[in-house]
């Protein structure tokens, strides 16, 4: 049992850490507060090949293992979790196209997606359907060589940049069971009837755009059906979300680590009653608790990633990692604010942003309450063993 990163993974970590320290940290507070899209950071991520993390090498990608993916998302999130979001939805979608797309779809999209010349996201959530994806109302009616798509999607990251955007639809709304009538269409930018109608205001997770979009009788070529076979959309989406939960868990580890680092640094600098506050047992207990949660979350996330690399289902492992890491990040961010005292509530200190960013990871990519039921069902069905 080896708990160490490989030489290649350490080199990747050090490369991303240097990038974060030189290009993300110096601008994160100012750009996040202004709601500024980080075009320059995106350009460097493209140059580093990060948009091709899970794209096969034959299409110009890195074919990275899932532990390496976790390392990348952890390091970027230590600097600015919102930037990791730009890469997150894109990576999830490229994996889905590589895994399920037809040969023609892979050739058409993956080379440009690998370089960042194209970017993508995923259109699942609707105003009336979040955790219960089988309740989506967006329909796609076959009409000759096209589908006519109508519906509304919301909370879509990268919506203004996605080309194509995989969109979950109902190709047979009357199907029983409901998932048998669900498919994914690859909707290209500029498709008539496809419009991003607004950017949603958010507490945190600033940097990437998060949008609401409308498909109003949008005509999408039948060749854009992911995999070329109807009725497989929910399976395709859920498989991608399994990978997505590892990236969210890794983002949470990065935020938790940064919260701990900020608290440890401040505790050594701030003095009260004639000594650094790190000398007080109450502060020491907080730092110790944070360190325990950070490292436990990291090991759980890397374990889930390694299980995904081994092949087969990893819904139990990714669910465990996402739930624990996201809640650990939320707890560490709050504790870091407490260590900072009144300064922790100030926008001039990083911990305020960390505190605002953590709720998304508890809610996103499957709420933690829903994931607890997924974990329990996997255990009851004997799909995973604990202990």
pLDDT (0 to 100) of residue 311: 87
pLDDT tens readout for residues 239-274: 999 999 999 999 999 999 999 999 999 999 999 999
Stretch (H or E) spanning 39: helix 39-47
- Residue linked to tokens 């979040």: 130
- 365 is an active site residue: yes
303-334 residue pLDDT tens: 999 999 998 788 999 999 999 999 999 999 99
Confidence of residue 385 (pLDDT cuts 50, 70, 90): low
* Domains contained in the chain, CATH given: 7-115 (1.10.540.10), 133-231 (2.40.110.10), 235-380 (1.20.140.10)
Nearest residue to 85 (alpha-carbon basis) of 129, 135, 32: 32
- Work out the burial of residue 13: count CB atoms within 10 Å of its CB; fewer than 13 is exposed, 13-18 middle, 19 or more buried: middle
pTM for the whole thing? 0.96
Tell me whether residue 77 is exposed, middle or buried, using C-beta atoms within 10 angstroms of its C-beta: 0 to 12, 13 to 18, 19 or more.
Answer: buried
**pLDDT of 16 above 90:** yes
Tens digit of pLDDT for each residue in 220-230?
Answer: 999 999 999 99
Q: Which two tokens stand for residue 177?
A: 């069971």
Q: Which of 74, 126, 230, 365 is an active site residue?
A: 365
Contact between 359 and 204 (Cβ < 8 Å): yes
Distance CA 242, CA 253 (A): 17
Query: How confident is the model at residue 313, as a pLDDT?
Result: 84
Q: How far is CA 131 from CA 136, 231, 330, 372, in A?
A: 10, 19, 21, 13
- pLDDT of 192-213, one tens digit each? 999 999 999 999 999 999 999 9
DSSP assignment string, 279-333 = GSHHHHHHHHHHHHHHHHHHHHHHHHHHHHHT-S--HHHHHHHHHHHHHHHHHHH
């Amino acid at each position: 049992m080896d708990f160490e990163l490989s030489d290649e993974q350490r080199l990747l970590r050090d490369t991303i850490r240097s990038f974060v320290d030189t290009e993300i940290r110096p601008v994160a507070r100012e750009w996040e507060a202004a709601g500024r899209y980080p075009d320059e950071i995106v350009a460097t991520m493209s140059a580093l090949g990060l948009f091709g993390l899970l794209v096969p090498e034959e299409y110009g990608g890195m074919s990275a293992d899932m532990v390496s993916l976790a390392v990348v998302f952890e390091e970027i999130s230590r600097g600015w979790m919102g930037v990791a979001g730009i890469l997150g939805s894109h990576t999830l979608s490229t994996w889905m196209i590589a895994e399920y797309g037809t040969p023609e779809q892979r050739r058409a999209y993956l080379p440009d997606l690998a370089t960042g010349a194209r970017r993508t996201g995923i259109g699942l959530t609707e105003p009336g359907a979040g955790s219960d994806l089988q309740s989506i109302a967006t329909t796609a009616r076959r009409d000759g060589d096209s589908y006519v798509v109508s519906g509304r999607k919301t909370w879509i990251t990268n919506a203004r940049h996605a080309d194509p955007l995989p969109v979950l639809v109902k190709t047979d709304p009357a199907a029983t069971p409901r998932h048998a009538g669900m498919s994914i269409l690859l909707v290209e930018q500029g498709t008539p009837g496809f419009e991003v109608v607004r950017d949603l205001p958010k507490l945190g997770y600033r940097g990437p755009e998060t949008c609401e979009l409308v498909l109003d009788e949008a005509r999408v070529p039948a060749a854009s059906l992911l995999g070329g076979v109807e009725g497989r959309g929910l399976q395709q989406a859920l498989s991608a979300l399994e990978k997505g939960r590892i990236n969210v868990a890794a983002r949470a580890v990065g935020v938790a680590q940064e919260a701990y680092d900020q608290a440890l640094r401040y505790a050594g600098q701030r003095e009260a009653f004639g000594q650094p506050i790190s000398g007080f047992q109450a502060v020491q207990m907080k730092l110790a608790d944070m360190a325990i949660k950070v490292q436990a979350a990291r090991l759980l996330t890397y374990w889930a990633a390694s299980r995904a690399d081994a092949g087969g289902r990893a819904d139990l492992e990714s669910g465990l990692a996402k739930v624990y890491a996201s809640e650990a990040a939320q707890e560490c961010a709050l504790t870091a604010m407490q260590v900072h005292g009144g300064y922790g509530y100030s926008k001039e200190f990083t911990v305020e942003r960390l505190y605002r960013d953590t709720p998304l990871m508890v809610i996103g990519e499957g709420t933690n309450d829903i994931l607890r039921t997924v974990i329990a069902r996997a255990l009851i069905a004997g799909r995973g063993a604990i202990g």
